[in-house]
Structure 1
Amino acid sequence: MAIKGTGQPGSWTRLLPFLQWAPMVNRTSLKADAQAGLTNAIIVLPQGVAYALIAGLPPEYGLYAAIVPAIVAALFGSSWHLISGPTAAMSIVVFTSVSPLAEPGTAQFITLALTLTLMKGIFQLILASARLGVLVNFVSHSVVIGFTAGAAVVIASSQLQNLLGLNLDTDGSFTDTWWQVLHHLPEIDPYSLAVGLLTLLACVLLKRFRPRWPNMLIALFLASGLALLLDPGRQHIALVGAIPASLPPFSLPDLSLGNISALASGALAIGLLGLVEAASIARAVASRSHQRLDGNQEFIGQGLSNVVGAFFSSYASSGSFTRTGVNYTSGARTPLAAIFASGFLLVILLLFSDLTAWLPMPAMAGLLLVVAWNLIDFHHIRLIVRAARSEATVLSVTFAATLLVALEFAIYAGVILSLVFYLKRTSTPRIVTILPDPDARHPFFVNAEHKRLPYCPQLRIIRIEGSLFFGAVNHVQEYLQNIREPRLLIVGNGMNFVDIVGAEMLVQESRRRRDEGGDLYLCNLKDGVVRFLKRNNLVAELGDDHLFVNKGQAIHRIYQRLDPAICKTCTAKIFRECHLAPPGARSEQEREILRQPA
């Protein structure tokens, strides 16, 4: 990223990107960053614990993931306001990827979750080093919205047993969870349900009437008080338990070949999802802060944060929408705010870790129901459904796949379906017939169908609006073969790319028309297309005198080759040349036309 007024980054700032924003640090920015960091630390305390429970990990691992990755991403990323840490989407993918291999909460599960995190970080660094960050563009907005909505439903479903005070033996899938819940409804614990509903109600009301207050933290305090009143003996309501008061411990992921192979698919999906999540949040905030982002540097920051975090008991992290939004609205000036947030959270973890012993599990479930509801982007879902049937299909398939199959495969399903629709669109480029507008003072070509203009019986002019590649050749060739006019002029300013199959199709069409007494011409081709045709010796086959710089030149030359007898009986008179002289005649007026651009 090149910060406004700092010029282009040098070699040292590329290696150590935090040197770019270091000159922005002063006494005023330090105060603002410290205040924003403290606010963030308070917010992430209940969030981190909740996300760890989603991931099937002990609660302290959610706080570890909010400390180390946030510092690394702040130092080596490019965004001034993005804060990395545990997120709901990352947590649910970690759970669904690792739970088939180990029992959630066990030492083996923790090790595999950290292995998945390391693999995710390495994959992200590979993309960054190869400058392949463009791959995240293939994860369309509809895929992200559909996946996030599906993940929200999965999260809410997974917390039903904690909310209702049930102890269910499920495989963690959406269908089995609901099946078990419905069969155990008579066993609902009213104390647990009351605590969970209080948490849910408190979060909603505080967010509605006191949006600046830490609603999640206050809701947890209220729920803990109610749990103490309803169940002083701790016989009915399960508690989270105390968190060890320690620094994030050093950890070693399991790099055995079998586990790497089993986690590879999940690592690829979670890596792409993490990059999309972080890039989207960073861009959204940068549009408000007027910062220029370096997307590839952001990928490096995300990759390093996961690689380093995996060795310090931090599971998969990404950009946090909630924490980033709070960071910006709290007045953060530099990435030091994320470092302050990690520092304050570490102090809270060391000094006040015993407080989590009083947190009821139903309260955490109620908190996660609120998180799940906020994950569903109803506004964009409505826009996508109204916009296009293809995008609505991608969203629906991704959402359904998230509920019914492994989450990483849901992402793949959405991406593949998006690519299918994209290829379908590009394989049928729009082809329009254009003609000179008779009402225009100067030469101006318009869509003949919109104006209902008469066609020339000897020459058709079309514009291909799309690249002419192997996937589009069949569609274009069928269209060209249905054109009855013997001579055809293709305007190529809408063709950004032509491959060898497309070029060969043009040559074949040219030969076919010549055999039938007609011809094919090209004009307004882009430089890259012309270079491609020359490099492959195709210009000679098409004819050097069949390629023109503009439409005016092309029409003037082609007009001289038309059949005068047909022109004599034609009443369309759509070209300027038709009003000057019959084909084959030459005049000073015609030479002047040749010199004028179209």
Structure 2
Amino acid sequence: MSGWLSPDSATPPKMSAFSRYLPILDWGRRYDRQMLTSDLVAAAIVTIMLIPQSLAYAMLAGLPPEIGLYASILPIIAYAILGTSRTLAVGPVAVVSLMTLAAAGSVAAPGSAEFIAAALILALLSGLILVVMGVLRLGFLGNLLSHPVVSGFITASGIIIATSQLKSILGIAASGEALPELITTLVSNLGDINLPTLVIGVTSAAFLFWVRKGLKPLLMSLGLAARPADLIAKAGPIAAVAASTIAVIVFDLEAKGVKVVGSIPQSLPPFTVPLIDLALWQQLAVPALLIAVIGFVESVSVAQTLAAKRRQRINPDQELIGLGAANVAAAFSGGYPVTGGFARSVVNFDAGAETPAAGAFTAVGILIAALLLTPLLYALPIATLAATIIVAVLSLVDFKTPLAVWRFSKSDFAALITTIAVTLLAGVEPGVVSGVVLSLALYLWRASRPHAAIVGRVPDTQHFRNVRRHSVITNPHVLTIRIDESLTYLNARWLEEFVLEQVAEHPDLQHLVLMCSAVNGIDASALESLEAINHRMVDAGVQLHLSEVKGPVMDALQRSHLLEALGGRVFLSQHQAFDELTAKVNRGDQPPLPVPPPSH
């Protein structure tokens, strides 16, 4: 039941359709004081975490730090209204920030007005792409990127991001989108290390790593309960920001070469209209599509994981609309592309967020910070923000998955390693493209080589299993091939060749049965291959039979001429087919010999 009506009321069809696109109408009508309290607490925790992250990720994207704050206000509210996840925290994230830097950097210098305009266009384009995909219910397209490929891309991106931030930790210049160029420029400028910056950066990173792993156990050993200890530990970046900012002021470290954030405007998010330049839009269209797809895959993975923990569900198609609206809102409020962040969402979940209203309250907290607190951030060292990014993204680097994938599937491992290598050596966009191409290529390769097995009957049962895996009963005159995939143009030729190869290896064969229990569909190309197989069997004096054909497949076959020309029968069960055909060959009944073609 959705909308404002009571459970006993009949929901008008228009309200059901309307509330599908406005999930707030579903959870909003049940909102109560307990939910409000939980959401406010969660929002306070996430706001504290999000302020330094927003500044850091904006600078990672090559943008002024305030744009990170702007991207954390209206986009969050838009998602709270239209998104289906109760705990997903939307805003700037590391991978999308890096992709924004790569895409906008291809048309303008980072930090320039043209660069900011390109970032707004990327937000608008990716938002529109997501909305259109959601309206067309294309949420399933997120499945085209396999998990190993996504894991490889995120791992490689984490390594690139962490490496790119070393320049701010060391206080030196470095550039490049790929790992070789980054390392080369870092090494060449090591002689310019700024010692105060290095001390701040290393100290902040060490503190943040310790806070992540060691502060919670320490607080619990002092008698604090687990949940408060965990929430305090999550607020560690604020302590690093405060301590390093105070150090810069007290010791006048800016005069000693320590780079600081500087002046941040105290203002509401501005109303911005993305530049209407068709040539520029065309140039940024493909990067925007990649940002949309990667952002959606990352976001929906987090949302589904957290929803499952509370036995809730999300709607991937509506998630597309919610994330698309968030990006459109970013484009018109001075932001840049956003998506659901893993770390923030987990904190939001652990802090007890009950509904998307927690996100809206977080947006209010960020708005207050943008209006009142930005003067306090003037002396915030860039090195501290770099340390914040490094600690956050290194949690994305996963070296366990490649080992697990290697043991499970060599082809998936090859795709994962290729994605990592291309991303590290060539940059983010080539890495994303290679990941998409590899995912599709792997799917097509697997679909073109379906699993098929020769089966026999398990003794004293009516079950049929693979002859290579089980001790089963077979008959040299009756061959059963179980097809374990739907039949399409991708695998039709393979099936034809496989069947003819097996028939050639059984010279005494009289009956061939195709067991179709796992065949859920058949297209015109596969039908043509079945007809070709049937003609070949007739020519060879072998009867072709089908068994366990599902209803929709039988409906399709009845609209064709295959059943009329079929040399054998269609059996309801494989057990019936094996019993009747075995009895037939034991009686000595031979299939009719092929009629020779008329002589001319």
Q: Does TM-score exceed 0.5, indicating one fold? A: yes
Name which of 570, 574, 578 aligns with 1:551.
574
Check if 1:376 corresponds to 2:397: yes
Name the residue aligned to 2:227: none
Name the aligned partner's letter for residue 152 of structure 1: G
Q: Which whole-Å CA distance do the structure 2 matches of 1:560 and 1:167 have between them? A: 83
1:3-42 matched pairs, under 5 angstroms: 10-42=16-48
Cα shift at 1:128: 0.6
Structure 2: distance between partners of 1:250 and 1:88: 25
CA distance in 2, matches of 1:470, 1:309: 43
Match of 2:542 in 1: 518
C-alpha contact (below 8 Å) 2:149/2:435 kept by paired residues:
yes
* Letter of the structure 1 residue corresponding to residue 483 of structure 2: I
Shift of 1:476: 2.1
Deviation by residue 1:109-137 (Cα, 9 ceiling, x = unmatched): 11110001000000001101111111011
What letter matches 2:346 in structure 1?
A: G
* Cα separation, 1, equivalents of 2:395 and 2:582: 65
Partner of 1:118: 124
Q: Is 1:496 aligned with 2:520?
A: yes
Q: Assess if the C-alpha contact under 8 Å between 2:463 and 2:575 holds in 1.
A: no
- Look up the SS of the partner of 1:460 in the other structure: strand
Q: CA deviation at 1:453?
A: 4.5
Aligned-residue offset at 1:383: 2.5
CA distance in 2, matches of 1:305, 1:394: 32
User: What amino acid is the match of 2:50?
Assistant: V
1:66 equivalent in alignment to 2:72: yes
**Residues in 1 aligned to 2:346 and 2:516: alpha-carbon distance in whole angstroms:** 46
In structure 2, C-alpha distance between the alignment counterparts of 1:535 and 1:15, rounded to whole Å: 39
- Structure 1 unaligned regions, length at least 5: 568-581, 586-598
* Number of residue equivalences: 562
Offset, 1:379: 4.0
Deviations 1:495-546 (A, max 9, x none): 2222222222222222222222221111111112211212122211225x62
3-state SS, counterpart of residue 210 of structure 1: helix
Match of 1:108 in 2: 114
Cα distance in 2, alignment partners of residues 118 and 157 from structure 1: 29
Given the alignment of the two structures, is residue 541 of structure 1 paired with residue 565 of structure 2, yes or no? yes
| TM-superposed deviation, 1:167 | 2.9
User: Aligned-pair distance for 1:409?
Assistant: 2.9
> Mapping of 1:122-141 within 5 angstroms?
122-141=128-147
User: Following TM superposition, by how much is the alpha carbon of 1:259 offset from its aligned partner in structure 2, in angstroms?
Assistant: 0.5
Cα shift at 1:417: 1.1
Equivalent residues in 2 for 1:425-436, closer than 5 Å: 425-436=446-457
What secondary structure, in the 3-state scheme, does the structure 1 residue paired with 2:256 have? coil
Which amino acid in 2 is paired with 1:27?
R
One-letter amino acid matched to 2:578: I
State the distance in 1 between where 2:470 and 2:90 align: 56
Decide which of 467, 480, 489 is 1:448's aligned counterpart: 467
Q: Which residue number corresponds to residue 301 of structure 2?
A: 280
Q: Deviation of residue 275 (structure 1)?
A: 1.0
Kindly state the Cα deviation for residue 172 of structure 1 after the two structures are TM-superposed.
4.1
Q: Is contact 1:136–1:275 with CA below 8 Å preserved after alignment?
A: yes
Partner SS, residue 281 of structure 1: helix
- How far does residue 382 in structure 1 lie from its aligned partner after superposition? 3.6
Flag the 1:249–1:428 CA change in 2: closer, same or farther, 3 A. same
Q: Following superposition of structure 1 onto structure 2, how do residues 130-529 of structure 1 map, counting pairs within 5 Å?
A: 130-168=136-174, 170-211=175-216, 212=230, 213=232, 214-228=235-249, 231-232=252-253, 234-438=255-459, 440=460, 442-453=461-472, 455-482=474-501, 483=503, 484=506, 485-529=509-553
Counterparts in 2 of 1:185 and 1:101: CA distance versus 1, 3 Å = same
What is the distance in 1 between the residues matched to 2:2 and 2:155?
35
Question: Structure 1: how far apart are the matches of 2:386 and 2:199?
Answer: 12
1:175 deviation in Å?
2.2
Could you say what secondary structure the match of 1:352 adopts? helix
CA positional deviation for 1:559: 4.2
SS in 1 for 2:469: helix
1:433 is paired with a residue whose SS is strand
**Contact 2:121–2:275 (8 Å) recurs in 1:** yes
SS in 1 for 2:313: coil
Is the contact between residue 136 and residue 272 of structure 1 (CA under 8 Å) also seen in structure 2?
A: yes
Q: Secondary structure at the match of 2:452?
A: strand
**Deviation by residue 1:179-222 (Cα, 9 ceiling, x = unmatched):** 11111212211111111001001101122222432111111222
User: 347-356 vs 267-276, which deviates more?
Assistant: 347-356
Of the structure 1 ranges 252-261 and 472-481, higher mean CA displacement relative to structure 2 is found in: 472-481
SS of the residue 1:143 aligns to: helix
- Return closer, same or farther for 1:301/1:192 CA change in 2, 3 Å cut-off: same
Q: Name the aligned partner's letter for residue 477 of structure 2.
A: Q
- TM score, norm. by length of structure 1: 0.89
In the other structure, the counterpart of 1:570 is: none
Contact 2:455 2:481 (8 Å CA) reproduced: yes
Structure 2 distance, partners of 1:109, 1:138, is 31
Residues 223 and 387 from structure 1, CA distance in 2 versus in 1: closer, same or farther, beyond 3 angstroms?
farther
Q: Is the 8 A contact 2:46 2:347 kept in 1?
A: yes
1:523, 1:550 within 8 Å by CA — same for their partners in 2? yes
CA distance in 1, matches of 2:44, 2:440: 43
In 1: Cα distance, 2:360 partner to 2:63 partner:
24
Distance 1:497 1:325 in 2: 41
Query: SS of the counterpart of 1:358?
Result: coil
Q: 1:47 offset after TM fit, Å?
A: 0.3
Cα deviation code 1:67-117 (max 9, x no counterpart) = 110110011111111121000011000000010211111111111100010
Q: Structure 1 residues 483-492 or 302-311, which shifts more?
A: 483-492
**How many Å separate the matches in 2 of 1:410 and 1:115?**
22
Take 1:473 and 1:277, find their aligned partners in 2: how far apart are those partners? 35
Seen in structure 2, the aligned counterparts of structure 1 residues 436 and 167 have a Cα distance that, compared at 3 Å, is closer
Q: Is the 8 A contact 1:198 1:223 kept in 2?
A: no
Q: Give distance in 2, aligned partners of 1:54 and 1:374.
A: 17
Q: CA deviation at 1:142?
A: 1.2
C-alpha separation between the residues in 2 aligned to 1:82 and 1:156? 24
* Cα pair 1:191 1:231 within 8 Å, conserved: no
Deviation at 1:232, TM superposition (A): 4.0
Q: Secondary structure at the match of 2:87?
A: coil
Distance 1:164 1:49, change over 3 A: same
Could you give the per-residue CA deviations for residues 10-57 of structure 1, whole angstroms, max 9, x where no partner exists? 133224321111122222221221111111111101000000011000
Q: Give the distance between the partners of 1:239 and 1:92, measured in 2 at CA.
A: 21
**Secondary structure at the counterpart of residue 250 of structure 1:** coil
- Using the alignment, how far apart are the partners of 1:277 and 1:27 within structure 2? 32
Distance in 1, Cα, partners of 2:141 & 2:540 = 47
Cα distance per residue 1:383-419 (max 9 Å; x no partner) = 3233211111111111122122342331221121122
Residue of structure 2 in register with 1:53 after alignment: 59
Pairwise CA distance, 1:561: 4.7
Q: Is the 8 A contact 2:99 2:428 kept in 1?
A: yes
How far apart are the structure 1 equivalents of 2:257 and 2:437? 47
> Which region of structure 1 is more displaced relative to structure 2, 128-137 or 288-297?
288-297
Q: CA deviation at 1:558?
A: 3.1
In 2: Cα distance, 1:388 partner to 1:479 partner: 23
